[in-house]
Structures are given as C-alpha cells and as structure tokens.
Amino acid sequence: MSSTANRVIKNAGYLYAKMGITMFISLYTTRLILNSLGASDFGIFNIVGGAIAMLGFLNGAMASATQRFMSYSEGEGNKEKQKSIFNVSFLLHLGISFIVGIVLIIAGYFFFNGILNIPTERMFAAKVVYGSLIVSTMFTVMTVPYDAAMNAHENMKYYAIVGILESLLKLAVAFACVYTKQDKLIVYGILMACVPLITLTIMRVYCHKHYVECVIAPRRYWDKGLMKEMTSFAGWSFLGSASSIVGNYGNGLVLNHFWGTLLNAAQGVANQLNGIMLVFSNNMLKALNPVITKTEGAGNRERMLEATTTGSKFSFYMLAVFAIPAIAEMPYLLGLWLKNVPQWAVIFAQLQLVRTLVEQTTITLGTSLSAEGRIKRINQVTSIINLLPITLIYILFFYGYSPIYMYVVNISIFGIMLSACKIYYMKTHCGMTYKYYIKNIFFPILSTLILPCLGSYLIVYFMEEGFLRLILNSIICATIYILTIFRWGITEQERMILMQVINKIRTFYGFKC
C-alpha cells in the first residue's frame, strides 16, 4: 500500500473514532434542546442562528482557499513560502472578520424589521442570540489560517480530540438549558456562541507551538505579489461561497415568510440529521482533500484525477449505506430520536438526504478545480446558479405550492445543475472527459444503488414498523450495498487497497485474516 494511502487511512481512522463518540452525543443533544426550547423557539434559533451558522460553510470555503496555497506549496516543498502564505492569510482574514461583523450588524436591522417572521414576544431573545453569534463568527473567521495549516499538515488526530471536546461542551450547554430558570433561548444562544471561542483558542495555541510557519511576522514575510494572488483567489472563492450561503439561507427566509417558525423547526431537524449522516463521508474527504491539492502542486495530474474519482465514489457510498435505510425508515427514525417530531420534518429530512446524495457524485471535483487554480469563471457561473432557488421558491410559495417544492427546486439546481457545471469545468480545465466521469464515477454509483434500494423498500412494504424492522433493514441494506460496491462499484486497485485496510484492521484487533 502506498504511503499516501496509508496516510489517508490513518487520518480517516482518527476522524471516524471521533465520529463514533460525537455522533451519539449530537443526537442526544438535539433531542434535549428540542424538548427544552420547544418547536417554536427551536425554529427561531434555526432561522436566526442559521444566518450565522451558514457562515460556517463560508469559513470552510475560505479555509479551503488558504489551504489550497499551503498544500500546494507543501507539494512543492517550499517552507518559506508557507510562512508568507500564513502571514498574508492572517492579515487578509483579520480584515474580512471586521467586514463580516459590520455586514451582519447592518443585515440584522433588516432581518428584525420586516424580513423575519418571529413572534413579537420572542424578538428580544432572537436579537440577543443574533448578537452573540456575530462575535463568535468574527473570531471564527480570524482562525481560518490556523484551520488551513492544520489541514495542510493533515493532522486529523488533533481534529478528533477537539471535535470530541466540542461535542461535550455542546452537551453541557444542552443540560444548562434544561435546568436554567432564565430564558432558555437566550441562554442557549450565548453559550453556543462561547463553544467555538473555546475550541478555536485551543487551535491557535496548538498551531503556534507545533508549526514553524505559524508565526505572526507580517513585515518580515510580506509578499505583495502573493497578497494579490491570494486576495484574487479568496475573492472569487468568497463570491461562490457567499452566493451558496445566500441561496441556502434564503430558503429558510422564504420558508419562514410564508409558513412561520414551525416549518423552520422541521427544516432544522432535517439539517441536523443530514449533518450527522454526512460525517461519514466528510471525515474521509477531510483526509483526502489535502492529498488532491498536494498531488496537483507536485504536477501529478493523473494521480490527482484518480484521487478525485475515488473521493467522489466513496463519499457517495459512505453516505448512501446509511441514507438508504434512513430514508425508508424516516417516520420511525425521527419518532425514536425526538420525543415531539415537528410537522413536515419527515419529508424534509428524506428530501434533504436525496439532495445531498446527488451532490456527493461531484463533491471532490470542486477541490480539484480549486487545486488547479483557474476559479474565476467557475465562481461567476456557479454564483448565478446558487441564487436561482430563492426566486423560484418564492414564486412557487406565492402561488400556493407545498413546502415540499423547496426541496424539489434545491435538488434540481444545487444537486443536478451545479454538478453538471463542475463536470464541464473539469473537462475544460483538468482534462477529465465526460466519458471518464460517466465510466469511473456515474455508472459505478448507479449500478450499486438498485439492489439495496429494492431490498430496503421491500422490507418496509412487508414488515410492520418498529425497532426490529429498523435494525433488519439497516443490516440487510448495508450487506447488499457493500457486496454490490465490491462487485460493481470499485476498480481492482481500489478493491486491493480496501482488502489491505480490512486486513490491517483485523490484525490490529487481533482477528485472524
């Protein structure tokens, strides 16, 4: 097995160990919070906090832009350039954090004066939550260079430790909300804003102690040409990410305007479940993405395309193995998870998972395009596409269409249209032909879906709803899916690597091969 594959497997192992601990904590935390706040206040937090939470995606996108330069120079073996990249990035994001804070303060005036549909008696609590999260967001933006440094060094062991700590802090916040005699929504908003402040402070201390490039000396490492290049790259990345945020968060605003906070609660449950499901594939991608950028930086386009292909396929597989039975068993699953399931939450959660599955088919293509570097035209086009759903959803709701159509539009545009856009630019910029994508990604994914979907829904049709059916459905679906992946979903080389991984796990735990 190559050293690259070993490194990806080791890093993914750390992340999955973290996932095994944090997933159940997250499930229980959401249950506590929903029951403590109630559906209406939970919906308020999702619509108000969502304006800030969506910046988490923006934060990740900006970190990816900085990471692209750090990982690229790591592939080139240029340590001094990494110091310049870190210092330029630090100054850049210090400025961005203040701009983001000012924009959010101005936006808050409009949010709370005509846009958001929030009960009058809960308006003060909503404003406190919003203000608390603005401060947290500004701090988060300033830590982007540190996040990028961690990713460039592929230090996933650290992420695992901090991720577990973050989950425990959120659980502590949930218990505080259950037992507090103060306004629960205000307490929840303020304490949730404190969680990233704690974890990100730990990150900064760690990076300065362990990584030589994480030294703040802007005068010594100032590079005007690099600043111009990174600003341009970050600017176009920001445009694409910001339009995606507006498009996604705009869904919640339009939903809130026509249907109120109760449907925002249903949307929040759908997003929570989707996020939990995504950790399976996101952990693998977090370990793989730096490899894609480094191989491009080293000038190895063929290996970069191989890593991209494998990443998209396995990201889909790792989500689908859980998502297929979850979609079929969603009514019982949400009832088991939550004491009181918000209206529309079941169908919202099902459709959100479908959208995410479609997006996984091209998930690593964006990383490859970013690594290649020519992102101006791509982000111009995707920005227009990202803003289409708001207008279409508003028109549909205005004419009385069901809330379900919000997800129909999202699947069509965020899923299918954006995926087609990525494939086109991979062809023009990276030399990946349509035939290559269809043969190596689309057909393998499609060929593995039919049998597990059929098996899952036959079980639902013939068995009564209950815990036994849920367990049986999950086991049978996973078994069929894994067998079809080994038969039709992977190449011979990928199959050999998987078998080596399985043998390593068996050896580690003392099982005979």
HSE-up of residue 483 (Cα within 13 Å, Cβ side): 9
- Which one-letter amino acid corresponds to residue 182? Q
Q: What is the pLDDT of residue 503?
A: 67
198-212, 230-244, 263-277: segment of lowest average pLDDT: 230-244
> Does 149 map to a domain?
yes
Check pLDDT > 80 for residue 391: yes
Domain extent at residue 245: 3-508
> Does 513 map to a domain?
no
Check pLDDT > 60 for residue 346: yes
29-33, 301-305, 413-417, 467-471: segment of lowest average pLDDT: 29-33
> Does 501 map to a domain?
yes
Number of domains in the chain: 1
pLDDT greater at residue 191 or residue 451: 451
Check pLDDT > 60 for residue 4: no
Local confidence band at 343 (pLDDT 50, 70, 90 cut-offs): confident
> Does 297 map to a domain?
yes
11-20, 165-174, 246-255, 280-289: segment of lowest average pLDDT: 11-20
3-state secondary structure 168-188: HHHHHHHHHHHHCCCCHHHHH
Q: Which phi-psi region, left, alpha or beta, contains residue 235 (left: φ > 0; alpha: ψ -120 to 50)?
A: alpha
Check pLDDT > 60 for residue 310: yes
pLDDT greater at residue 445 or residue 164: 445
3-state secondary structure 476-512: HHHHHHHHHHHHHHCCHHHHHHHHHHHHHHHHHCCCC
> Does 308 map to a domain?
yes
Q: Report residue 432: phi and psi, to 5°.
A: -90, 110
Query: For the chain, how many helices (H) and strands (E)?
Result: 19, 0
> Does 250 map to a domain?
yes
Q: What is the pLDDT of residue 472?
A: 93
Check pLDDT > 80 for residue 324: yes
Q: Which helix (H) or strand (E) holds 234?
A: helix 224-259
1-5, 30-34, 141-145, 368-372: segment of lowest average pLDDT: 1-5
Local confidence band at 59 (pLDDT 50, 70, 90 cut-offs): low
pLDDT in tens, 443-488: 999 999 999 999 998 999 889 999 999 999 999 998 999 899 888 8
Check pLDDT > 70 for residue 7: no
Asked if 349 and 330 count as a contact pair (C-beta separation under 8 A), the reply is yes
Closest residue by Cα to residue 126 from 215, 52, 202: 52
**DSSP classification of residue 260:** -
Buried b / exposed e over 228-264, threshold 16 CB at 10 Å, is: eebeebbebbbbbbbbbbbbbbbbbbbbbebbbbbbb
Q: What is the pLDDT of residue 52?
A: 56
Q: What is the pLDDT of residue 421?
A: 92
**DSSP classification of residue 121:** G
> Does 208 map to a domain?
yes
Closest residue by Cα to residue 82 from 297, 370, 358: 297
Check pLDDT > 50 for residue 513: no
> Does 103 map to a domain?
yes
Looking at 260-375, list the stretches that DSSP marks H as alpha helix, in order from N- to C-terminal side: 261-297, 301-328, 330-337, 345-360, 365-372
pLDDT greater at residue 451 or residue 367: 451
Local confidence band at 512 (pLDDT 50, 70, 90 cut-offs): very low
